């Protein structure tokens, strides 16, 4: 049974779109940050750092990717992603300097909003 499940999971990874994968990673990061917000008094500093590191690495990848000359995104979108990354890095540092659960709200919302856009069908007719 495990082999069939593993084979299906591997096939799903190879057939998903890059947009869908990015959306999933943003949702995962948002969920990790939500866990900190919702369980702030119960989590260790190490558990918090793991979630913050995950989010920072994800946004580092995004910001590095959009700075590449080979990236086909339009310049305004590249600039918006780079600006969001800077905001996220600064906001995470602020949280690390003075941890308060409410400081995570904007990070969670940004990740979820962008994931929502990535999951949307860009070829769907506009109403």
Where are the chain's structural domains? 2-119
pLDDT computed for residue 17 by the predictor: 87
Q: Cβ atoms within 10 A of the Cβ of 68, count?
A: 10
At 81, give phi and psi (nearest 5°): -65, -40
Helix orientation angle between 105-119 and 18-38, rounded to the nearest 10 degrees: 160
pLDDT computed for residue 16 by the predictor: 73
pLDDT computed for residue 31 by the predictor: 98
**Which is it for the CA torsion 91, 108, 39, 31, positive or negative?**
negative
pLDDT computed for residue 8 by the predictor: 47
Q: What is the pTM of this model?
A: 0.81
- pLDDT tens, the chain, 127 aa long: 455 556 545 555 555 788 899 999 999 999 999 999 999 999 999 999 999 999 999 999 999 999 999 999 999 999 999 999 999 999 999 999 999 999 999 999 999 999 999 998 766 555 5
CATH 1.20.120 fits 2-119, yes or no: yes
At residue 78's C-alpha, the angle toward residues 73 and 83, to 5°, is: 165
Q: What is the pLDDT of residues 111-120, one digit of tens each?
A: 999 999 999 8
pLDDT computed for residue 124 by the predictor: 54
pLDDT computed for residue 125 by the predictor: 54
What's the CA gap between 30 and 7, in Å, rounded? 28
CB 30 within 8 A of CB 111: yes
pLDDT computed for residue 20 by the predictor: 94
């Amino acid at each position: 049974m495990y082999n069939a499940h593993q084979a299906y999971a591997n096939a799903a990874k190879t057939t998903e779109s890059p947009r869908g994968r990015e959306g999933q990673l943003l949702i995962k990061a948002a969920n990790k940050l939500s866990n900190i917000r919702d369980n702030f008094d119960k989590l260790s500093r190490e558990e918090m750092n793991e979630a913050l590191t995950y989010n920072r690495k994800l946004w580092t990848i995004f910001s590095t990717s959009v700075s590449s000359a080979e990236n086909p995104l339009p310049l305004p979108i590249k600039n918006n992603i780079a600006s969001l990354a800077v905001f996220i890095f600064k906001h995470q540092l602020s949280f690390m300097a003075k941890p308060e659960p409410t400081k995570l709200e904007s990070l969670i919302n940004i990740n979820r909003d962008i994931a929502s856009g990535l999951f949307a069908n860009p070829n769907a007719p506009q109403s």
